[in-house]
A = this chain, B = another copy of it.
Amino acid sequence: MKLSQGVEWAAHCATVLAALPEGAALSAAVLAEYHGVPQPYLAKSLQALSRAGIVTSAQGRGGGYRLARPAEQVTLLDVVTAVEGPEQAFRCAEIRRNAPHASPEACYSSPCAIAASMWTAEQAWRDSLATVTMASLASHVRDVVPADVGERNRAWIAARSGRHP
């Protein structure tokens, strides 16, 4: 089981966008340069965030991406789901039905205990991701990065940020 690299990239981008001043926006090129990742691949992650309504983008000079709603309302679960899709990791092929002697159809109306247990565990994973917001991640970064380094990175970003109308 492996999450795509796009999850890491999207989460970092959303965290950076969460720390932007009101109205500011960053292009895919700036986000790619900031994170040292290839822009064509990062663009896919940003498009996934956009399709999920997590970011909005404005085209052209002075445009770019910003969060579509307050950073307190964007969770890590939102970001992971945007990139990975909403499907369960465990897919039940109902092989219990293949036993030499089948049960009456009604017995299969509730999920197989194995599938149910797998999905309960996935829900625990989702519940945990849902407790983490982009606001909390951005606040954590601000707390742990030395003040002068944070200031210089914010200045680097400010010099390259656009502004939504």
Identify the closest chain B residue to A126 (Cβ): B121
User: Can you tell how many copies of this chain the complex includes?
Assistant: 2
In angstroms, how far is the closest chain B Cβ from the Cβ of A140?
4
**Would you call B2 and A146 a contact (CB within 8 A)?**
no
Q: CA A34 – CA B36 in complex, angstroms? A: 52
In angstroms, how far is the closest chain B Cβ from the Cβ of A6?
11
Choice from B9, B89, B113, B118 contacting A141 with Cβ under 8 Å: B113
The interface bits of chain A over 124-148 (1 if a CB of B lies within 8 angstroms of the residue's CB, else 0) are: 1111110010000100110011100
Choice from B89, B117, B132 contacting A1 with Cβ under 8 Å: B89
Q: When A and B form their complex, which 8 residue pairs have the shortest distance between CB atoms, in order from nearest?
A: A36-B98, A121-B128, A125-B125, A101-B152, A113-B140, A124-B124, A124-B128, A117-B132
